[in-house]
Amino acid sequence: MDISALLKGLDPKNITVGVLGGHSALDVCHGAKKYGFKTVCVARKGREKTYAQYFRAQNSKLKTQSFHGCIDEVILVDKFEDVLKGDVQKKLKSLNTIFVHNRYFWVYFSDYSKLENDFQIPIFGSRTFVKLEERDQSYNQYHLLKDAGIRTPKIFKKPEDIDRPVLVKAAEAKRGYERAFFVVGGKEEWEREGTKLEKEGKVGPKWRQATIEEFVVGAPINFNFFYSPLTKELELLGTDTRRQTNLDGFLRMTAPEQTKALHSGIPLKMIETGHIACTVKESILEKAFDLGEKFVKATQKLPKSLDPSGKGIIGPFALQGAVVADDGKEDIVIFDVSLRIPGSPGTFATPYSRYLYGEAMSVGERIGLELQRAVAEKVLEKVVT
């Protein structure tokens, strides 16, 4: 994708920040408004009220704030993939749109390559990286983490090799993009549990092909970073952990209650439903930054076939894992990666961006600041693909 062609005709003084209606749309649009940009949301019919009504921009009547609501324009579509349609792209171009993508671009698109090749709107961030999150790609996040020299859980190539508790990263039967992970301790249990869940319609028929990953016992932490091509600096914007249903419900029970619930047929699920802001000890921060720096360098070394822009990671990304204790020493194990804005708007509630900027800053606000800088320095081509 020729970035000069994408930016041709774009008025840098009149930019609109675009999003799909979900995931991190409100966070991005709030940040864009704070830094003086207009916003447009491509919303799916039937779930558009959040953007077209509840958080629609209005003239602020309060002297303490410059805006009330953060969604200026709404484009309604039947399905998210319709953002690729000619009339939708024409409207986005007329608004001088720069799009901020998220995981929705993989989940709701039948052919991700169409986004890479046919979406003629500049994207803030790394256009071709989202697919690397998927474990069925020939080169995926596991390869990237290995190339970066980052510690990850042990992967078992076949169930016969299981010699400890493992997490089988199967997909849901109904929603293939959602998690239906289950924990087992050996091959027989792997076969028994997977077969049972398939019969119950809880995992898809391809569960035997799912990754078998060492179950890491530690404190789950997501490290949410931002790499700026303008300053060439890595920032830790915040840390958080996940809320998962119905795992969180089980964790609120005593052991006898958990046993009763499982025996009564209530399955343990790990479907992400939200996030909780949390902090880490300062003694862990240097380890976290070291991982982030290794990751950035690894993305900058990717071949043109994976990164045609040659820029490496741009803007927000997250290394998701757990802090473990090995022989009395803490270490960080990473088991998941987000190569775009994570879906956690609450990271500003942690203090790390405040240490840098004097006030807490959300991921959306940091994107807004980066775009503002790029416009001011006339280097938009450095932050978009």
Q: Using CA atoms, how far apart are residues 254 and 178, in angstroms rounded to an integer?
A: 27
How many CB atoms lie under 10 A from the CB of residue 34? 19
Give the position of tokens 């909780």. Answer: 276
pLDDT tens digits, one per residue of 130-145:
999 988 899 999 999 9
Q: How far from each other are the two terminal CA atoms of the chain, in whole angstroms?
A: 7
Closest by CA position to 315, among listed 99, 80, 72: 99
Beta bridge partners of 319: 223, 337
For residue 272, give both structure tokens.
């992400």
Burial class (CB in 10 A: 0-12, 13-18, 19+), 332: buried
Q: CA–CA separation, 298 vs 144, rounded Å?
A: 7
Cβ-defined contacts of 154-161 (< 8 Å, 24+): 154/213, 154/214, 155/211, 155/212, 155/213, 155/214, 156/212, 156/213, 156/214, 157/212, 158/212, 159/186, 159/187, 159/190, 159/191, 159/212, 160/187
Query: How far, in Å, are 130, 168, 221, 222, 347 from residue 243 at the CA level?
Result: 23, 19, 12, 12, 14
CATH class of 3-124: alpha beta
Q: Which residues of the chain have pLDDT under 50?
A: none
The residue to which tokens 């016969």 are assigned: 160
CB–CB of 353/361 below 8 Å? yes
Residues spanned by CATH 3.40.50.20 within the chain? 3-124
What whole-number distance in Å separates Cα of residue 167 and Cα of residue 134? 16
Q: pTM score > 0.85 for this model?
A: yes
Q: Which two tokens stand for residue 9?
A: 């005709």
pLDDT of residue 268: 77
CA angle 97, 341, 182 (to 5 degrees): 140
Tell me the C-alpha distance between 368 and 6, whole Å: 20
**Distance between CA atoms of residues 161 and 41, nearest Å:** 48
Residues of the chain with CATH 3.30.470.20: 141-151+218-338
Peptide bond into 59 cis (omega under 30): no
Would you state the pLDDT for residue 176?
Answer: 64
CB environment 207-230: b (16+ within 10 A), e (fewer): beebbbbbbbeeebbbbbbbbbbe
Q: Is the dihedral of CA 49, 52, 55, 59 positive or negative?
A: negative
Cβ of 326: how many Cβ atoms within 10 Å? Answer: 9
Q: Which CATH number fits domain 141-151+218-338: 3.30.565.10, 1.10.1040.10, 3.10.580.10, 3.30.470.20?
A: 3.30.470.20
